[in-house]
Structure 1
Amino acid sequence: MVLVGLFSAKDREFGAKLDLLAASVAARGGRVVGRHVQRRGVSHGGAARMNVPFSRRTLISPGKAREIAHLCRAAEVGVAVFANPLTEHQRAVLGGMFGCLVISGEDVFPRGR
Structure 2
Amino acid sequence: MQQSRRRDRRPARRSGPVVARHQDPAPAVAVDGADVVIVGYFSGKQKDFAALMDAAAEEMTRRGARVVGRVVQRRGVSAGGARKMALPYSSRTLLSYGKVREAVVLLERTNADAVISLAPLTRRQRRVLTGMFGRPVASLADVLAGD
Q: Return the TM-score normalized by structure 1.
A: 0.91
Whether 1:17 aligns to 2:52 is: yes
Q: State how far apart, in whole Å, the 1-side matches of 2:130 and 2:54 are.
A: 23
Q: Which runs of 5+ in 1 are unaligned?
A: none
1:30 to 38, 60, 65: 65
- The equivalent of 1:82 in structure 2 is 117
Q: Larger % of helix: which?
A: 1
Deviation at 1:46?
2.2
Q: Classify 1:55/1:44 alpha carbon distance in 2 versus 1 (closer, same or farther; 3 Å).
A: farther
Choose 1 or 2 for highest CA Rg.
2
Structure 1 pair 44/103, CA: closer, same or farther in 2 (3 Å)?
A: farther
* Paired AA for residue 60 in structure 2: V
Alignment counterpart, residue 63 of structure 1, candidates 88, 95, 98: 98
Q: Which runs of 4+ in 1 moved over 6 A?
A: none
CA distance in 2, matches of 1:44, 1:53: 16
- The sequence identity of aligned pairs, in percent, is 49
Q: Partners in 2 of 1:8 and 1:27 — Cα distance? A: 27
Structure 2 unpaired stretches of 5+: 1-35
Which stretch shifts more, 36-45 or 78-87?
A: 36-45
Opposite residue 109 of structure 1, the aligned amino acid is: L
Q: Distance in 1 between matches of 2:132 and 2:78?
A: 24
Summarize the Cα distance change of 1:60–1:34 in structure 2 as closer, same or farther, 3 Å threshold: same
RMSD: 1.3
**Does residue 53 of the first structure (1) align with residue 83 of the second (2)?**
no
State the TM-score, normalized to the length of structure 2: 0.71
